[in-house]
Amino acid sequence: MGNWFQQSIVATGRLPLFCYFVMLIVAFIATRINVRLIRAKVGWFRNVNVGEMHIHHVVFGVVLMLVGGVTLIVSPDSQIGTAVAASVFGVGSALVLDEFALILHLHDVYWEEEGRTSVDAVFIAVAVTGLLLIGLRPLTWNYGTPVNPAALIVANLALAIVTLLKGKIWTGMAGLFVPPMLLVGAIRLARPGSPWAHWFFARQSPRKMARAIHREERWRRPVIKAKIAFQEFLSGRHDLPSTRRGRRHT
């Protein structure tokens, strides 16, 4: 194990990325444990308040990201220094992404349906960082063809945009590292709630919309339910009464 870590992580210069990856996961899990204990009113776990002002943990996350980011800039030649800075940046990223839904909606939706967006954001960040850690790089496949690399990058980006507009977030993100997935995602039918379906199916192609809804209910719903069950096992339920009636987390 030690030899693998030395050869695959340290020797390849991926120690800072590894530290960021680990701290992102650890900090997210620790944060979710903390807020669930606050929600359950267990022991001394309480929200952070200054007078009547409630301080969300995204504030601490922004500060830590600034500290980690600046430290990374000023210590580019020290792998240990950058590893420590990356760890701090990872903790800050977890705190910020855990309240991504609050930033997106500009009000506290932490335990509401929309709050799942924060968990999705963390999962995507972990997945992308994991792919980078194993050595994959976005938009770097050339398929062994004589095609201009710049043209391939532009084509892949176009396919990624189409895939994302079709509501296939995970396919689009993974496809940046494995471009053939983008081709599949761009060709296949859009999800019924996606911008693409709204623009092209709602009025022009009601038959395609019906097919998209049928596929969503038959194939995607079970997968989404399983994903939500796993997310809520880690992070708690997000469909309880509105937090706007009373703040419940730090």
Model confidence pLDDT, tens digit, residues 111-149: 888 888 899 999 999 999 998 998 888 876 655 555 677
Summarize pLDDT for 27-83 with one digit per residue, the tens.
Answer: 999 999 999 998 888 878 888 888 878 889 999 999 999 999 999 888 877 778 899
Q: What is the Cα–Cα distance from 102 to 154, expressed in whole angstroms? A: 33
Summarize pLDDT for 141-193 with one digit per residue, the tens.
Answer: 655 555 677 787 888 889 999 999 999 988 988 888 888 899 999 999 998 88
Q: What is the Cα–Cα distance from 178 to 113, expressed in whole angstroms? A: 31
Neighbours of 4 (CB within 10 A): 8
Residue 245: per-residue pLDDT: 44
Are the C-beta atoms of residues 236 and 111 closer than 8 Å to each other? yes
H/E run at residue 37? helix 15-39
Rounded to two decimals, the pTM is 0.78
Query: Tokens 């895939």 label which residue?
Result: 163
- Residue 110: closest CA among 58, 49, 42, 168: 58
The strand ranges marked E within the chain are: 49-50, 53-54
Kindly list the domain boundaries of the chain, sorted by start residue.
144-250
H/E run at residue 196? helix 195-200
Reply yes or no on whether the pLDDT at 243 is more than 90. Answer: no
Residue 164: per-residue pLDDT: 92
Q: What is the Cα–Cα distance from 139 to 149, expressed in whole angstroms? A: 9
